Amino acid sequence: MSDIIINYCYIKYKKKKSQEYKRYGVHVCLVIIDGTVDAPGIRTLFDSGNGKRRSQARLRELESPGSKFLRPGDAGDAYVYLAEQPRSVWTHELTLTPNDVKIGMRL
């Protein structure tokens, strides 16, 4: 229930700010990063679970395209896409989710 209230508040805030700043040409967008952004050392957090080392096959799977991690460059490209949009087709909400993860699922 609290997630619904929080999401409602985010959407209302985004709409308010969009209306407030659009006359100045400011593009307001809510970006939801629904996953783990790959970074140095982040895979070591997922390398061991319950004290056991993961198999090399599982580690390769995590590194493959469409894995459970967002590539920083791809996330950056999404932000560049937002910044370069023409005013006639502005995006006001964008969710970035890795291909191999169900929406709303956390690692």
Q: What is the pLDDT of residues 75-86, one digit of tens each?
A: 999 999 999 999
Does pLDDT of 100 surpass 60?
yes
For residue 78, what pLDDT is reported?
A: 93
Q: Where are the domains of the chain?
A: 27-96
Q: Give the tens place of pLDDT for each residue, 5-62.
A: 777 787 888 888 888 888 898 888 888 888 888 887 776 676 555 545 556 666 666 5
Amino acid letter, 65: P
- Contact indicator for 30, 10 with CB cutoff of 8 Å: yes
Answering whether pTM is above 0.85, one says no
